[in-house]
Amino acid sequence: MSGASLAGRRLVVSAGPTFEDIDPVRFIGNRSSGKMGFAIAEAAARRGARVVLVAGPVALATPAGVERIDVRSARQMREAVIGALPADAYIGAAAVADYAPAQVAPGKIKKKDEQLTLELVRTPDILAEVAAHPQRPTLVVGFAAETHDVEFYARGKLEKKRVDLIAANRVGVAGSGFESDDNALTVYWRDGARALGPAPKTQLADELLDLILARWPA
Ligand code: CTP
Ligand code: CA
């Protein structure tokens, strides 16, 4: 299960959800467990890569030999990821919040009217920014969480964000996806695609690294 070597390569991996604070006691989050990204970081380190793992709030142990940077919000994740460049590859496995509260209330918001409207603003798109960065890694890999028209949306993200590979979660496959130990992915690149799994995320991580290595320019 060890696969081809990544000795001498530097990888930056993002994993987990981001939490966007509303006030000191509340936040907007999502169900990402971080398991896929942590499995990729662990598998890459086992193959000899130097790995920086930028982790959102998750309950997972740091894989052996991995340098971990803990963050909370999308904005913090962006700072940590961009700060970790240059790298040979970026793998964006995090479920980054698309919107965050326009401002964080300094005190706990008190219950008042029947309705409460929160103003949300777009977060930075970390994956697109890494792909457009002057220190762009040789390979930029994204994930795509889709519930329908998986190939259409995944290929759209591949083009729009100018990334090299997109791993789309095949949601709807029994027992796979967020919060699960198993997953099923379809990986798309400009002129190809490959279905991986359903399989444990640890096994998928190795298969994904093999695909990444196969696409590495000589
Ligand atoms: N991503 C990111 N920064 C964001 C949003 C997403 O880096 N602010 C990355 C994710 O880590 C993932 C990829 O972009 O690798 C695709 O995320 P996804 O949520 O599927 O796509 P979005 O572009 O956010 O579009 P939508 O949620 O509307 O499908
Ligand atoms: Ca999104």
Q: What is the pTM of this model?
A: 0.96
Whether 39 and 202 have beta carbons less than 8 Å apart is answered as yes
- End-to-end distance of the chain based on CA atoms, in angstroms? 23
Q: Which residue has the higher pLDDT, 34 or 217?
A: 34
Q: What is the mean pLDDT of residues 15-41?
A: 97
Give me the helices (H) in the chain, please.
Answer: 35-46, 74-83, 126-131, 150-160, 201-214
Is the pLDDT at 218 greater than 90? The verdict is no
* 10-103+119-214 CATH: 3.40.50.10300
Q: Does the beta carbon of 92 lie inside 6 Å of ligand 1?
A: yes
Q: How many CB atoms lie within 10 A of CB 136?
A: 16
Q: What is the ipTM of this complex?
A: 0.99
Lookup: tokens for 168: 């789309």
With a 6 Å cutoff on the Cβ, whether 144 touches ligand 1 is yes
Residue 129 gets the label, from left (phi > 0), alpha (psi -120 to 50) or beta, of alpha
Atom of ligand 1 nearest to the CA of 94: 11
Task: Please count the other Cβ atoms lying within 10 Å of the Cβ belonging to residue 63.
Answer: 19
Q: What is the pLDDT of residue 174?
A: 63
Helix (H, G, I), strand (E, B) or coil at 98: coil
Residue 165 has pLDDT above 70, yes or no: yes
Question: Tokens representing 200?
Answer: 């444990």
Distance 97 CA to ligand 2 centre (A): 6
Q: Please name which ligand lies nearest the alpha carbon of 157.
A: 1
**C-alpha closest to that of 93 among 50, 58, 133, 136:** 58
- 159 CA distance to ligand 2 middle (Å): 16
Look at residue 173 and tell me whether its pLDDT is greater than 80. no
Distance 113 CA to ligand 2 centre (A): 30
Which residues on adjacent β-strands are paired with residue 67?
A: 52
Q: What does DSSP assign to residue 106?
A: S
Q: Give residue 176's pLDDT band: very low, low, confident or very high (50, 70, 90).
A: low
